[in-house]
Structure 1
Amino acid sequence: MKSSVEKLSETRVKLTVEVPFEELKSEVDQAYSALAQQINIPGFRRGKAPRQLIDARVGRGPLLEQVVNDMLPSRYQQACEEHELAVIGQPNIDITKIEDNELVEFTAEVDVRPEITVPDFSKISVTVPALKVDDEAVEKQIDQLRERFGELKDTKRKLKTDDFAVIDLKATVDGEEIEEAATEGMSYQVGSGDLIKGLDTALRGMKTGESGDFTTTLENGEHEGKEATVTVTVQQTKERKLPELDEEFVQMASEFDTVEELRDSTKEQVEQQAKTTQAGAIRDEVLKAALAETDFELPQGVVDEQVHAQLHQILGQFGGDEKMLNSILESQGMDREEFDANNRKNSEEAVRTQLFLDAVAEEEQPEVSQQELTDHILFTAQSYGMDPNEFVMQLQQSGQIANLFADVRRGKALAAAICRTTVTDEDGNNVDPAEYYGEEEVEEGAE
């Protein structure tokens, strides 16, 4: 077999491969055996007909087609290995020549990994939010628990933030009522800010039975960007009464017996949440800083595959209906062109990050144990809400276990690199990244 490689760009090459027929004996034998089983020639048992009779019956075309299909994967792989190509993505293969009993020639254009120079992580410095856990944060979380057991009760006083109201809404633009904006009997929490801009301000101070008008700029729909007059009528006002924070409540709502035990446990939870947030900030800031120091060309074929995969995933939420997607985008004030541009930008960022982390992994050379891979598979299955055994079967059938292995390897490599960086918080305190990304912490995080 002869092969040559032509560099088309920094991230794409073209292989030209010639395979002499004498090297295809095993593929030819297999092709004849397969054809012999498919045809029936009088006087011969199925599978036992001589080759010349098979050629006479079906011609050489089907045989050559089968031979080429059988030999392509192995010869393509062999050529990649001979030229030490770090290929990514699927090749675009073209059969350029078939000379019976002489040779088969094909070309393969494929993306390759760009050359990436990994920066010196010991020279990277980042700043992250300070780790702050105060009594206010603890009490806020305890209040959230109390709210879960709170009761809504009618009130005659004026509405204030966090109260609930049953309201009617209608809106007009240039004196014409907008039917799709009208609603009756809607329950709304004052201060949530998740409906119409200006509604919370209008509701504060209103009582049951009162109506009021306010103006707002519509953000979605047919009248997007237009100024509307909105009328809100309060049908009911309710306030949430929280249970007293005492031992009776604690024993009913938690696993603890005393208020002090609940506070201590809640403080630990808040501290852990703060640490998790800080750890994520360290990772994000270090990765952002490292990528800013690294410039490389993206393989467009891989980016295109990512764009297609992301679009396919999003369309799957709408049954593959692009018209429905476009309609929803329009209701959100976005056209398809803007959506596609955002999708490509996000895909480019995802590909850039993954290629960079692969380069970090090649430099760090972390070892991934079977237990670490198993833990990651179990964690991923749990995040998808799947039975671990079913998830593993799907991974095996789709050949995706190697991808999860690569995920663990990238994570361990980045963790090792992060430990060499300098991290300070916004208050000027030094933060030891090894507290979050040291070897023991990484192993515990995988469990």
Structure 2
Amino acid sequence: MKATWEKIEKNLGVLEVEVEAERVSAALDKAFQKVVKKANVPGFRKGKVPRSIFEARYGVESLYQDAIDILLPEVYGEAVDETDIFPVDRPEVDIEQFGKGQPFKFKAKITVKPEVKLGEYKGVEVPAVSVEVTEEEMNAELERLQQRHAELVVIDDEAAKNGDTVVIDFDGSVDGVPFEGGKAERYSLELGSNTFIPGFEDQVVGLATGDFKDVTVTFPETYHAEELAGKEAVFKVKVHEIKRKELPELDDEFAKDVSEFDTLAEFKEDLKKQIEARKEQEGKATRESALVDKIGENAEVEIPEAMIQGEVQNMVRDFDNRLHAQGMNLDMFLNFSGQTIDDLKAQMQGDAEKRVRNNLVLEQIAKAEKIEATEEEVNKELADMAEAYKRTPEDIRNILAANGSLGSLNEEILLRKTIEFLLENSKEVPAEQLEAAKAKEESKPAAKKTTKKSTKAEAKADADKTDEEESKDAE
């Protein structure tokens, strides 16, 4: 097999491949074995038709498409490896020659992973993050714990307000006609959670137990169900019960209930250490994000649209998985939020492009610095995953290999090591200092422009002065 690669523009090129006639013949044999099982020829059982009789009846050309389907993926992969390119989208294949006794020739127009021209990536300044725990942060954490351990107490003599949970019946209709999903009984709704159509929860606020009310709302224009989008709906609502959170007292009993400590003082001391550790992790994540973004901005790379759209698909899939972990799914989310899948993808577009850019830049830095994922590091990662999932490392390796994800594990380790390398070679500076430097940098173009005007003015003055002197000499 012969394969040549020629770049025609930016990230687009043409792969030309020529495959030996012997391999074409072998592919035709495989195609015949596949097709003959279904061939109906009088006097022969299916699968027993001789090759010569089959070709005489149907023609050898009837095998060509199946043979191409068998041979093309195989030789395409070999040609990609041979020319050392990295396709990022489906190729546009043009079959130039395929026939019995002939070489197989085709061209494939391919979008490949772009080249990255690195900018500054060592000594990059990142914001220093304080891990000191403020009184406000401590109080907020304690309040969060109180909220988590609060009890819902039934309120009989007060009207519902934001933060309360109301148990309601509702029955919705548009122009007097009920619609699917518009009815429920004894539904628990937390007011202020914004889980219902805008305006619904606000109209339930102020109702008391036993009250009835017609709640009128308008579905968003972008609502996923087209038959309801922009329509006005009326919900007949009955309030069965109102429940309000009752927060526990912050005392030693509370500390015993939520921790292993006997006193509130001991618990608060431990809580402070936990917050410090969390802030340290968050601070590291902040530094990493700022560092990678800045290094990505310093680099030059033209990203193919196919890579961005592929990352958008990955982000949608990850989002759906997170929703499933919370007992929801993507359709439910779109239903509640009144968005379409295209709306969601459009929101993810910018982040997807940044992710692709940053990953490409990190890969290039890893190559430049000869950073690699060692076998020991891969084995440790597999061991950690095995412990988490109560399986053996070999089981995890086989599962990842079967899913085609073993290479992704190597890439994750490589990217993580590259980011650690960049952090070690970065400079932490106060955030306010970075802001001042950024403001100064943003003012530079204006300064240059002013300088340019000044230089022009000086040049004109010099020219005028020269003309004046020449005039005097002439006199």
Question: In which range does the TM-score fall when normalised by the shorter chain?
Answer: 0.5 to 0.7
User: After the TM superposition, which of the residue ranges 326-335 and 410-419 deviates more from structure 2?
Assistant: 326-335
Confirm or deny: 8 A CA contact 1:326 1:335 kept in the other structure.
no
Partners of 1:78 and 1:239 lie apart in 2 by: 67
Q: Within the alignment, does 1:279 sit opposite 2:284 as a pair?
A: yes
> Hey, what does 2:421 align to over in structure 1?
416
| Structure 1 residue identity aligned to 2:370 | Q
| Structure 1 residue identity aligned to 2:412 | D
* Distance change >3 Å, CA 96–CA 346, structure 1 → 2: farther
Partners of 1:237 and 1:142 lie apart in 2 by: 26
Partners of 1:131 and 1:88 lie apart in 2 by: 42
> Hey, what does 1:12 align to over in structure 2?
12
Residues 204-353 of structure 1 mapped to structure 2, 5 A cutoff: 219=220, 221=223, 236-303=241-308, 305-306=310-311, 329=334, 332-335=337-340, 337-339=342-344, 341-342=346-347, 347-353=352-358
> Hey, what does 1:370 align to over in structure 2?
375
Partners of 1:171 and 1:29 lie apart in 2 by: 66
* Distance change >3 Å, CA 298–CA 235, structure 1 → 2: same
* Distance change >3 Å, CA 149–CA 85, structure 1 → 2: closer
> Hey, what does 1:108 align to over in structure 2?
108
Residues 179-194 of structure 1 mapped to structure 2, 5 A cutoff: 185-189=186-190, 192-194=193-195
Q: How far apart are 1:424 and its partner, in Å?
A: 3.8
Partners of 2:25 and 2:2 lie apart in 1 by: 19
* Distance change >3 Å, CA 337–CA 79, structure 1 → 2: closer
Considering only aligned residues, what root-mean-square deviation do their CA atoms show, in Å? 5.3
| Structure 2 residue identity aligned to 1:265 | D
* Distance change >3 Å, CA 311–CA 154, structure 1 → 2: closer
Offset from partner CA, 1:235-266 (integer Å, 9 cap, x none): 54444334444444434443333333322222
Q: 3-state DSSP class of the match of 1:354?
A: helix
> Hey, what does 1:407 align to over in structure 2?
412
User: After the TM superposition, which of the residue ranges 101-110 and 238-247 deviates more from structure 2?
Assistant: 238-247
User: After the TM superposition, which of the residue ranges 136-145 and 359-368 deviates more from structure 2?
Assistant: 136-145
> Hey, what does 2:121 align to over in structure 1?
121
Partners of 1:316 and 1:416 lie apart in 2 by: 31
Confirm or deny: 8 A CA contact 1:172 1:229 kept in the other structure.
yes
User: After the TM superposition, which of the residue ranges 214-223 and 282-291 deviates more from structure 2?
Assistant: 214-223
Partners of 2:162 and 2:66 lie apart in 1 by: 73
Offset from partner CA, 1:93-114 (integer Å, 9 cap, x none): 4442236545332223323221
Q: 3-state DSSP class of the match of 2:301?
A: coil
* Distance change >3 Å, CA 388–CA 224, structure 1 → 2: farther
| Structure 2 residue identity aligned to 1:399 | G
Confirm or deny: 8 A CA contact 2:27 2:68 kept in the other structure.
no
Q: 3-state DSSP class of the match of 1:133?
A: coil
Question: TM-score, normalization: structure 2?
Answer: 0.63
* Distance change >3 Å, CA 152–CA 328, structure 1 → 2: closer
Q: 3-state DSSP class of the match of 1:411?
A: helix
Identity among equivalent positions (%) equals 23
| Structure 2 residue identity aligned to 1:119 | G
User: After the TM superposition, which of the residue ranges 251-260 and 344-353 deviates more from structure 2?
Assistant: 344-353
| Structure 1 residue identity aligned to 2:409 | L
Confirm or deny: 8 A CA contact 1:361 1:414 kept in the other structure.
no
Runs of 5+ consecutive residues of structure 1 not aligned to the other structure? 41-52, 319-323, 431-447
| Structure 2 residue identity aligned to 1:407 | E
Offset from partner CA, 1:255-290 (integer Å, 9 cap, x none): 333333322222122122222222222222222223
User: Among residues 360, 363, 387, which one is paired with 2:365 in the alignment?
Assistant: 360
Confirm or deny: 8 A CA contact 2:27 2:71 kept in the other structure.
no
* Distance change >3 Å, CA 84–CA 348, structure 1 → 2: same
> Hey, what does 2:138 align to over in structure 1?
138
Runs of 5+ consecutive residues of structure 2 not aligned to the other structure? 38-48, 324-328, 436-475
Offset from partner CA, 1:383-425 (integer Å, 9 cap, x none): 9x78566543321213320111112101211221233333445
Partners of 2:188 and 2:2 lie apart in 1 by: 74
* Distance change >3 Å, CA 139–CA 36, structure 1 → 2: closer
Greater C-alpha radius of gyration: 2
Partners of 2:273 and 2:51 lie apart in 1 by: 79
Offset from partner CA, 1:334-361 (integer Å, 9 cap, x none): 3465455456666544433432332232
Confirm or deny: 8 A CA contact 1:364 1:416 kept in the other structure.
no
Q: 3-state DSSP class of the match of 1:240?
A: strand
Q: How far apart are 1:116 and its partner, in Å?
A: 0.6
User: After the TM superposition, which of the residue ranges 411-420 and 101-110 deviates more from structure 2?
Assistant: 101-110
| Structure 1 residue identity aligned to 2:246 | K
Q: 3-state DSSP class of the match of 2:98?
A: strand
Q: How far apart are 1:35 and its partner, in Å?
A: 7.8
Partners of 2:376 and 2:158 lie apart in 1 by: 61
* Distance change >3 Å, CA 73–CA 149, structure 1 → 2: closer
> Hey, what does 2:96 align to over in structure 1?
96
Confirm or deny: 8 A CA contact 2:127 2:434 kept in the other structure.
no
* Distance change >3 Å, CA 206–CA 90, structure 1 → 2: closer
Partners of 2:238 and 2:29 lie apart in 1 by: 83
Confirm or deny: 8 A CA contact 2:126 2:291 kept in the other structure.
yes
